[in-house]
Structure 1
């Protein structure tokens, strides 16, 4: 993704298959020099709106490493909620850490 003409990071969605086909997993990365500028929040909003409006998806989830509190706040600002914590699920830089699973559900019309 670009901000003010500069490459600042990436965001992507993986649509699941079979019995999980109504779900997608989102991942994103913003380069450290661009933290705190609202870029991730805006990108997440644009991506979730696009996915819910253009695909048969009713659930988007994002995993966040235990230490990444700013990423958790960005998801919370975008109406994601914590669904679970997968304990000791990740090894990063030689440390075993938890993976927090955040979810946003599409509002279903009855």
Structure 2
């Protein structure tokens, strides 16, 4: 999956091992703005250290100030409270909840979507 152009490895500075990833996709949220959706995963042994918030904030800064995007969306499933904390810590604002069918988990879930707009 890391071979894709829009997926980036998160590497531990000490061990130089891949501990997670962050991906970008076109967002269908607002067709009038330049918006992408981010998604991320982090090895459980690295949870609770603030690493993902650091990564998301760096990516947000790059997407807004270098790429020139207007907004970024991100979502989490109902049960993923750690991801919700990262999203809120990084300044995203809740916009909607909707049903989502996970092919990997083979079940329907509730997805909560958030948006962060570039500060002008």
TM-score (norm 1): 0.85
Relative contact order, higher structure (CA 8 A, sep 6+): 1
Count of residues in Structure 1 that have an aligned counterpart in Structure 2: 106
**Aligned position for 1:2:** 11
Question: Superposition pairs for residues 1-110 of structure 1, below 5 Å?
Answer: 1-3=10-12, 4=14, 5-16=16-27, 19=31, 22-86=34-98, 88-91=99-102, 93-108=105-120
Deviation at 1:21, TM superposition (A): 5.5
Q: CA RMSD in A?
A: 1.8
Cα distance, 1:65–1:20 mapped onto 2, change above 3 Å: farther
Q: What runs of 5+ residues in structure 2 fail to find an aligned partner?
A: 1-9
Deviation at 1:14, TM superposition (A): 2.4
TM-score (norm 2): 0.79
Residues 6-64 of structure 1: per-residue CA shift (max 9 Å, x gap): 211001222459x3561111011101111111111110001000100112311100111
- The structure whose residues are more often helix, as a share, is 1
Q: What runs of 5+ residues in structure 1 fail to find an aligned partner?
A: none
